[in-house]
Every structure is written in C-alpha cells, then in structure tokens.
Amino acid sequence: MKTLRLKPGKERSLQRRHPWIFESAIARGAADPGETVRVESHDGAFLAWASFSPASKIRARAWSFVETQRIDAAFLASVCVRAVKARGLFDLQSDGVRVIHGEADGLPGLIVDRYGDTLVAQFLSAGVERWKDALADALLAATGLGKLYERSDASGREREGLKPITGWLRGEGATDITIREHDWQLSLNIATGHKTGFYLDQRDSRQRFAELAQHRRFRRVLNCFCYTGGFTVAALAGLKAAGALEGAELVSVDSSLPALNLARANVALNGFGGGQGEGEGEGEGQGDAGSGAKTEFLDANVNTLLREFIDQGRTFDAIVLDPPKFAPTVAHAERAARAYKDINRLALKLLEPGGVLLTFSCSGGIGADLFHKIVASAGLDAGVDGYISERLGAAPDHPMTIEFPEGEYLKGLVVVRKPA
C-alpha cells in the first residue's frame, strides 16, 4: 500500500474527519489516479485511507478514518446501502431523489440521483472513477433498479484530469422522464438537462413558494433563470389551491430555448395550459394557464430583461432568482459577488412594496454570510428596505454533515419588501 506523509500540523483537518487533503499539505508520497493510499501524519500515525488524484489540488479524498478498514467493492457496497437507507429518514414527497451526495455520504466525488426507475450518476473524482464498475453494481443492488445513466460531463472532471463521459452505464431506456414532486409532475431529460437532468435540491423551496402563492395570492410573478419551470408550476399550484388563478400573470425567463420549451410543457402537463401561444417553438409567447391565468415564456438574458422591465415601469409582487453557479470556488467569489448584487438590485427595484423575493446562490465559493451581505448591499443600492423572513437551503436528501461544511452550497433568502 502506498503512503502519503503529511507536513507537520497538516493532520488537524483529517483528525476532525474532514475528507480533503490538499497538495500543499503533503510532504511526500504519490500513487496512480484513484489508487487507495494510506495517509499518515508527519510522525507516521495513521490518519485515513484515501483515493489519490495526481492532477487535482485536492490531492486525495478520504474513504475511511478507520485503520482496520479494507477499501474494496464490499466496502463501497455497504456505503451505498447506508446512503439509500438514510433517504428513508425523510418525507421527500417525490420519486426524484438524491441517492448519493458525495462527501456527505462517504463517497467523495460521486453524485447519484434517482428519477423514478432510473439512476443518473456523475463520477467526478479519480477515486470513484477507478471504482466505477463496482459502484454501478452496488448502486443498482442497493436501490433494486436496473438502469443507470452516466452524466460525467461536469467541469469537476477536468480538474481531476478526467475526460467527459456520458451514456448508459447499465441497462438502457428513455432519457425523457417525468417525476412526481409534491402534488405535481415535472418532466426532464437526463441526457441533455443540467447536472443530472434536474435540480432536485430546490424541491422544498418550490413547495414553499407554492405555499406563499396560496397564502399571498400573487397577481404578478416573475421566475428568472426558470430552467424547466419548477417554480412556475409551484406558483400556479399554489394559486389554484387558493382559487386565485383568475387574472394572475406569470413570466418565466431563461436564455435556453430547450429549457423554456420544457417549462411550457411542464405547465401544460399539470393542467395549467401554457402549451400554446404566440411564438411557440421560439421560446416565447403567452398562453392561458387555465382558469384565467396568463403565462409568458421569454428567451432572454435576465440582466438585460430586468433593466427593460424597470424602464417599462413593470412591477411584480413575487420574484424568483435562481441563477447558475457564479463562483465554483472561493477564487471566483469577488467577481461572482458583483454578479449576484446586480441581479438582486434589479429584482428589488421591480418588487412591489409588500412583495416577496426568493433569491438563491448555488455557488460553493459564496458562503451564507457573504450572500446575506450581497443582498443587503443590493437593497441599499436599490433604495429598498426588506425583511428576511426565511432562510432556505437544499432539500434533506442533499445533506450537509458536521465534518464537511462545504456541503452547504445552496443558500436561499426569502426577502419581503417593507410596505410603503
């Protein structure tokens, strides 16, 4: 077994069971990509078993902190079984579930989502890449399923020196899938959609938006970076429950035409119309969302469109900002902070007094405190006072462990503009 020896004082994070070992912490030692190594302190004390990644700044990722543990297919199978059992602890109200959440589930670099009877996996580190076949078998055995699609095309693989790979890893079937979430249905494509095909982490926030729509009876809703329309469907469901669809206007904006077309289809799938309208097939147009509500789908740059809405004097009493990752690492935080501030400043200017803004950051390089400060600064520049009524985060099948706080990547705030 090959050994990594750490520099003096660099053992503290592993002693706290943090799974990452950075290049700068290593005094000596090397191995092949994904090979299991013994990690020792400067004086030779055992710290962890880890997978080695010669191309990454995170030079090794811990599998286990138990010296007697053997890292083999049986070990990986037991970790998969434990992760699947853990999902039974939560009332997820969906057949779309995050089954493996990387470091939080003891499998660093592995993301696995379940969509109905199909698993979709991202192998994002050298360690899980080396054990891919054993992990694929273990995942199917733990879930009782027969299909696994690989979406190992995220940028994280490049940092590990790995090439992108996509396609069926086990079994085969349709890549267009419809899942149940709460009381509605949402369609996705596991081959072409973002990440593994969908954003399951926003499941609880979508439900909360539906509750707010039902309680507040929103009249004008703006869903920015709408992707496949999950928050739009949630708002319509909430308004329907309140008997308040008549006269409501919902605007969904994204710069991806395929996503907008799927958003329109998801609105129709849930019985709210939206499947027809002027400009259909071009990502734009209006439709009757059933019982008198109007849906509008705009293929546009969000920042540009928000400025146009301000110039037009348009306002909204509910806005969702769910942008893509602006800061993948802390090194990108300063530039990302400016981007987050800009869109929040524009959105707050468009928000009616008493209106509600749901604003999110999925950037790991932007912490919760910094995101709060960014939104506060945006409000100051917009001349808008607001209450933070709630903090939102990823659904519980995307766990953050006490040893790995970096797992808290998704931050959300519910901001209520103070009445005039």
Query: If you write DSSP's letter for every residue of 221-259 in order, what string do you get?
Result: EEEET-TTTHHHHHHHHHHHHTT--TT-EEEEEES-HHH
**pTM higher than 0.85:** yes
Residue with tokens 């989502």: 113
Q: What are phi and psi of 319, to 5 degrees?
A: -135, 135
Quick one: 216 and 309 in the same domain? Answer: yes
The β-bridge partners of 179 are 186
User: Which two structure tokens, joined as six digits, stand for 127?
Assistant: 């360690």
Listed residue (170, 189, 191) closest to 179, CA to CA: 189
pLDDT, position 166 = 98
> Which letter, b or e, does each residue of 357-373 get, where b requires 16 or more Cβ atoms within 10 Å of its Cβ?
bbbbbbbbbbbeebbee
Alpha-carbon torsion (278, 228, 189, 304), positive or negative:
positive
User: CB burial class (10 A; 0-12, 13-18, 19+) of residue 403?
Assistant: middle
- What burial class does residue 13 get, using C-beta atoms within 10 Å of its C-beta: 0-12 exposed, 13-18 middle, 19+ buried? middle
C-alpha dihedral (220, 289, 200, 173), degrees to nearest 10: -160
Structural domain includes residue 320: yes
CA 336/CA 338 separation, integer angstroms? 5
Q: What does the pLDDT read at residue 155?
A: 86
Q: Do 278 and 205 sit in the same domain of this protein?
A: yes
Tokens encoding 178: 């419809």
Domain membership of residue 396 (yes or no) is yes
Q: Which among 200, 202, 109 has a CA at the least distance from the CA of 406?
A: 109
Q: Are residues 412 and 282 in the same domain?
A: yes
Question: Is residue 169 in some structural domain?
Answer: yes
Same domain, 247 and 389: yes
Task: Assess whether 388 and 247 both reside in one domain.
Answer: yes
Q: What is the pLDDT of residue 275?
A: 42
Domain stops at, among 12, 42, 64: 64
How far is 315 from 218, CA to CA, in rounded Å?
A: 12
**133 lies in some domain:** yes
Same domain, 259 and 401: yes
Q: Is residue 181 part of a domain?
A: no
**pLDDT given for residue 406 in this prediction:** 83
Residue 401 is part of a domain; what is its CATH number? 3.40.50.150
Q: List alpha helices for 197-332, DSSP H.
A: 203-216, 230-241, 257-269, 302-312
The one-letter code for the residue type at 207 is Q
Same structural domain, 211 and 263: yes
Asked if residue 193 is part of any domain, the answer here is no
| Range 242-262 burial, b when 16+ CB lie within 10 A, else e | eebbeebbbbbbbbbeebbbb
The reply to whether 48 and 84 lie within a common domain is no
- Residue 37 sits in a domain whose CATH number is 2.30.130.10
* Whether residue 56 is found in the same domain as residue 84: no
Same domain, 19 and 92: no
User: Which of 15, 32, 64 finishes a domain?
Assistant: 64
CB atoms within 10 A of CB 149: 24
Domain boundary pick from 114, 144, 176: 176
Contact 321, 347 (CB under 8 A): yes
Output the domain CATH number for residue 95. Answer: 3.30.750.80
> Burial level of 328, CB count in 10 A (0-12/13-18/19+)?
middle
Range of the domain at 14: 2-64
Residues whose CB falls within 8 Å of the CB of residue 263, separated by 6 or more in sequence, listed in order: 226, 227, 228, 229, 232, 252, 254, 297
> Given this model, what pLDDT does residue 287 score?
58
Q: Residue 280's pLDDT is what?
A: 39
Question: Amino acid identity, residue 331?
Answer: A
Does some domain include residue 164?
yes
Tell me if residue 29 falls in helix, strand or coil.
coil
Report the distance separating Cα 110 and Cα 125, nearest Å. Answer: 7
Q: Helix or strand or coil: residue 4?
A: strand
Residue carrying structure tokens 């399951």: 200
Token pair 């990440």 is found at: 195
Whether 187 maps to a domain, the answer reads no
List Cα–Cα distances, 280 to 243, 258, 287, in angstroms: 28, 12, 9
CB distance 295 to 273 below 8 Å? yes
161 in the same domain as 129:
yes
Q: How many domains does the chain have?
A: 3
Same domain, 163 and 208: no
Q: What is the chain's pLDDT, residue by residue, as a tens digit (420 residues)?
A: 899 999 999 999 999 999 999 999 999 999 999 999 999 999 999 999 999 999 999 999 999 999 999 999 999 999 999 999 999 999 999 999 999 999 999 999 999 999 999 999 999 999 999 999 999 999 999 999 999 999 999 988 999 999 999 999 999 999 999 999 999 999 999 999 999 999 999 999 999 999 999 999 999 999 999 999 999 999 999 999 999 999 999 999 999 999 999 999 999 999 997 543 333 344 455 556 555 799 999 999 999 999 999 999 999 999 999 998 876 666 677 888 889 999 999 999 999 999 999 999 998 888 899 999 999 999 999 999 999 999 999 999 999 899 998 888 999 999 999 998
